[in-house]
Amino acid sequence: MTDPRKPGESQKAYAARIIRERILSMDLEPGRIISENELSQFLGISRTPVREALHDLTRTQIIEIMPQRGCRVAFIDYHRIEEARFTRQTLETAILPKVCQQLTTESCQMLRQILDEQEQALSDSDENGAAFMRLDNRFHAALFEIADMSSTHQWMAEMQIHFDRVRQIALTIGKGADIVREHRAILTALEKGDTDLAQQLMTRHLSAVTVDMDAVKCAYPQYVLQDILP
């Protein structure tokens, strides 16, 4: 049973959202051949919005068109991940001085609540880490909100699916506790107004995807584009 459409959500937007979520959850794993008919039946909508959604997703290079075969979920590509990491690290460390300036007691409490819920998600039955990842993304999005840079986050998020997919897979090999610990350290530095430390910690946190990538290559070599590995 898939999530229902949100109020005001078009069929194309709904299809794109669910396909993206299924890719991140590994329900549609790297290399998987999918078809418009299959997705149309799964979503309960016509093929046209499904085709349009897939076309939109090809712009992020997470879906690849296979002539005469339909579409394929892209394999994990180190260079795309590194590009996404670089973009995110550049932007997210740059906003931290503004976060420090504009952090309030209420926003600190909000961030701590997100991290408490994220820690709880580690203990809950959540096979693919979907709840954990939603909270992870919420924590990072909240930093942009505090800095009054939400539009920047929305622009960045579209291209982060390659980065997020590796982080999602990493949860299956025991990386969740490290993520929460790093988030708490970043928040503590922000509360103290130590921008330099917060930026150092954020850089280290986002760079961890490189270590995660090594672990993913070992655990799931069939999901990785092998001919361009560093």
DSSP per residue over 168-229, as a string? HHHHTTT-HHHHHHHHHHHHHHHHTT-HHHHHHHHHHHHHHHHHHHHHHHHH-GGGB-GGG-
What are phi and psi for residue 97, nearest 5 degrees? -60, -40
Give the span between the Cα atoms of 53 and 42, in whole angstroms: 14
* pLDDT of the residue at 1: 55
User: Per 3-state DSSP, what percentage of the chain is helix, strand, and coil (rounded to 5)?
Assistant: 70, 5, 25
What backbone torsions phi and psi does residue 87 show, to the nearest 5 degrees? -60, -45
The whole-number pLDDT of residue 230 equals 47
Report the C-alpha gap between 34 and 130 in whole angstroms.
22
The predicted structure's pLDDT at residue 228: 47
DSSP, collapsed to helix, strand or coil, labels residue 163 as: helix
Domains of the chain: residue spans and CATH: 11-73 (1.10.10.10), 78-223 (1.20.120.530)
pLDDT at 188: 97
Please give the model's pTM, rounded to 2 decimal places: 0.84
- Output DSSP code: residue 66: E
For Cα atoms 154, 144, 199, give the angle at the middle one, nearest 5 degrees: 125
- Per-residue pLDDT of the chain in tens (230 residues, 90 and over written 9): 567 899 999 999 999 999 998 998 888 999 999 888 989 999 999 999 999 999 999 999 999 988 877 789 999 998 898 899 999 999 999 999 999 999 999 999 999 999 999 989 888 755 557 788 889 999 999 999 999 999 999 888 877 888 888 888 877 766 788 889 999 999 999 999 999 999 999 999 998 887 778 888 888 889 998 754 44
Beta strand residue intervals within 100-167, DSSP E:
none
What token pair was written down for 67?
Answer: 């002539």
> d(Cα 221, Cα 214) in Å, to the nearest integer?
10
